[in-house]
Amino acid sequence: MTGTGRNVVTMATDSMGSELEQRDGSTLQFDSYPRNSMQHSYRLDQRLHMLRDEVRTMTRDKERGEQVWRDRLQRCQRQLKAKEEEMSRQSQYFENFKTQLQHKISLARDREQSLQNRIYTLEKQLLDMTCGNEREAEKDIQGGPVKDATQTPSEARLQGFILSLQEDLRVLLEREEHGMTERRRLMEQLQEAQENSHLLGCKVEEMKAEEQQLKLSESSLMRRLES
């Protein structure tokens, strides 16, 4: 083969090699597109999965927080309701107790007044009889010779009546003292009942303030979770 023929063959061979290389390069570049697309899709799936996990976590945290505050609020409301019911019962009991005490105090005052009137009457009777006895004795002395020391039946009856009046007076004085003591005790019970009612009212007000604070805290938490 001449030199010219060899050159032609060489050029043809080189041209065919270049075409094959270009085809192989195009094939490799075409094959890389699906791989890149799959990697990108995988990364997107991972990111989406992470976002879903974050959303679920935030939702659970929000629901848990809401449940905690709801439980606290409900517990506070139950306690407040129980306190209000207790206060209602205590108030009713206090009103009944107060009415009974006032009635007892009124009766004690009436008894005390009656005793004082009875004491006054007995004291007056005793004084009148004592003065009358003294006047009779003076008349006897002025009117004639002194009688013997022996008491007459009328004098004995008079002396017995005086002793009876003195005993009645002593009993009435003891009853008056007992009535005054009872009235003081009733007044102390009334004062104690009033103080207990006041303390219970203060506790209920504290519970209402705590309930209001819990409601405000719940509203604040809900706004933070929703923002």
Residue 217: what pLDDT?
74
Range scoring the smallest mean pLDDT among 107-116, 143-152, 188-197: 143-152
Between the alpha carbon of residue 219 and those of residues 21, 161, 206, 222, 227, the distances in Å are 72, 87, 20, 5, 12
Segment of 35-39, 117-121, 129-133, 155-159 carrying the highest mean pLDDT: 117-121
Percentage of the chain modeled with pLDDT above 90: 0
Size of the chain, expressed as the number of residues it contains: 227
Query: Which residue segment(s) compose the domain that 32 sits in?
Result: 23-141+153-226
Residue 150: what pLDDT?
58
- Residue 133 or residue 181, greater confidence: 181
pLDDT over threshold 70, residue 222: no
Q: Tell me the C-alpha distance between 152 and 218, whole Å.
A: 99
Does residue 35 belong to any structural domain of this protein?
yes
Does residue 78 belong to any structural domain of this protein?
yes
Does residue 18 belong to any structural domain of this protein?
no
Does residue 1 belong to any structural domain of this protein?
no
Q: Please tell me what DSSP assigns to residue 149.
A: S
Task: Please state the domain count of the chain.
Answer: 1
Between the alpha carbon of residue 87 and those of residues 77, 80, 82, 100, 191, the distances in Å are 15, 10, 8, 19, 17
CA-based angle 57:59:65, to the nearest 5? 100
Residue 108: what pLDDT?
74
- Residue 30 or residue 84, greater confidence: 84
Percentage of the chain modeled with pLDDT above 70: 70
**DSSP calls for 72-89:** HHHHHHHHHHHHHHHHHH
Q: Are 105 and 189 in contact (CB under 8 A)?
A: no
Confidence of residue 22 (pLDDT cuts 50, 70, 90): low
- Residue 28 or residue 224, greater confidence: 224
Mean pLDDT of 156-174: 75
Cα four-point dihedral sign 90, 96, 99, 102 = negative
Each residue's pLDDT tens digit, 2-20: 444 455 445 545 555 555 5
CATH of the domain at 95: 1.10.287
Does residue 13 belong to any structural domain of this protein?
no
Mean pLDDT of 82-110: 78
Does residue 14 belong to any structural domain of this protein?
no
Segment of 47-61, 152-166, 202-216 carrying the highest mean pLDDT: 47-61
Range scoring the smallest mean pLDDT among 47-61, 91-105, 134-148, 199-213: 134-148
Q: How does the average pLDDT of the chain come out, rounded?
A: 72
Residue 28: what pLDDT?
47
Does residue 80 belong to any structural domain of this protein?
yes
pLDDT over threshold 80, residue 78: yes
Residue 30: what pLDDT?
46
Does residue 221 belong to any structural domain of this protein?
yes
One-letter amino acid of 47: R
Mean pLDDT of 158-182: 77
Q: Tell me the C-alpha distance between 91 and 197, whole Å.
A: 7
